[in-house]
Structures are given as structure tokens and as C-alpha cells.
Structure 1
Amino acid sequence: MEIPIDKLMWSYLHMMCNRLFKSKQRLHELVLYDFLGRYYASQIARKKQLEKDITI
């Protein structure tokens, strides 16, 4: 049985959140995913801006 790495990663992350947060696990997991999404979006925007500045 072979599991795609992205599904395995999400499963491990979900279980880590359940163990890390003692109460309101779903809420804390949602907040964590929101922060990660914002962080990744910020990194992508910064990279695009840097590439734009280099080509000008």
C-alpha cells in the first residue's frame, strides 16, 4: 500500500495538532492552518516582488 506524500503529511500534521492542543483542538488547528496559509501567501508575494524588482 502506497500513500501519496501530501496526504501522509496532512495526516501527520493533523495528528500532531491533536496532541499539541489540549482543548478546542479543531479551533486551534483551524487557526494554525490560517496562519500557515497567510505565511505562505506572503512568501509567494515577496518572491514575486523580488523577481519583479530584479527584472526591472
Structure 2
Amino acid sequence: MTGPTERDLDGSWRDGRRAYLGTAVAGFPDFFLMDGPDTKVGSGAVVHMLERIVKR
């Protein structure tokens, strides 16, 4: 995946994955995540969390 400036996601995340609130990645304006970095729940199923996000 490349951004508008031909920057690739692999290169951007080489030193660690980062996303604003786990959903938006800097430099990739049309790329949104539902299950991005640091969004894992400590208890319960991830599927439940994803269903709650989709229903909003």
C-alpha cells in the first residue's frame, strides 16, 4: 500500500506500527482500520468489539 507521496505502509511502520486512535494512519488519507495497532481488548472477543464499531 502506498500513500499519495508514494510512501509505503511497510516503510512507515518499520520502526513500529502507529495509528491515530487505532484507526487512521498518518500519510495515508484514505486508509482506515477497524482493528489497528493498540486496539486489542484485554478481555472478551475482538469480534464483539468490531461489531460495536460497525453499528455506530
Larger fraction in helix = 1
Instruction: Please classify the TM superposition score into its range, dividing by the shorter chain length.
Output: 0.3 to 0.5
Please report the TM-score for the alignment, with normalisation by the length of structure 1.
0.33
From the CA coordinates, give the structure whose radius of gyration is larger. 1
Return the structure number with greater relative CO, CA threshold 8 A, min gap 6: 2
TM-score between the two structures when normalised by the length of structure 2: 0.33
